[in-house]
Amino acid sequence: MEKILISACLMGDIVRYDGRQKKMDHVGVEKWETQGRLVRFCPEVAGGLKTPRPPAEIVNGDGQDVLAQRAKLWTSAGEDVTPQFVRGAAMALDLIKTHAIKIAILKTKSPSCGSSLIYDGTFENRLIAGMGVTTAVLRKNGVLVFSEYEIKAVTALINLGP
C-alpha cells in the first residue's frame, strides 16, 4: 500500500508555530489514516524548533532559494532559523526514502511546507508565489506535493475513487 507524507498539523498534532490546531476534516484523509497510509511529519519541529515559536518567513526568495543559499529564514524576533528548516527538510527526505513515498500533502503558506504560496518575508501577511523548503527538497527528489486543498487530485492519483 502506497504511503502518503502529511503535515502533522493537518492531522491535529500541536506542532504549529502558534501552538494551535489546524486539523483538516476530510473523509478521504480519515480513510487513509485508518488504512495506515499516512506518515505524519512536521519538518520544523523535527528540525529542532519548539512549539509555540515565533513565526518564520523566507526572506529574499522561496525554498529553492534557501537550498541554493540565496535566501534565509528569519523569525519575527530576528532569529536566523535557516539551519532548523534545512535539517527538517532533510529528515522529510529520509522518511520519503524509507517508506518509498511518492506523494505528500503539506500545509499551504508554510515556509516549510507551502507548495504554491508562501509569505513574502516582511511579516506583513502578504503572500507570494513560491514553495517552502521541505516542498523544494521533496520536489527536487521527484515527490508530488499537494496542499490540503488538493485532496481530490491526490485521491484521483492514487485511484481510491472520487
Task: Name the nearest CA neighbour of 111 among 47, 62, 150, 144.
Answer: 62
* 137 vs 57: CA distance, rounded Å: 17
Contacts of 152 by beta carbon, 8 Å cutoff, 6+ apart: 162
In the chain, domain spans: 4-157
Q: What is the largest CA-CA distance in the chain?
A: 47
Full-model pTM:
0.95
pLDDT in tens, 32-77: 999 999 999 999 999 999 999 999 999 999 999 999 999 999 999 9
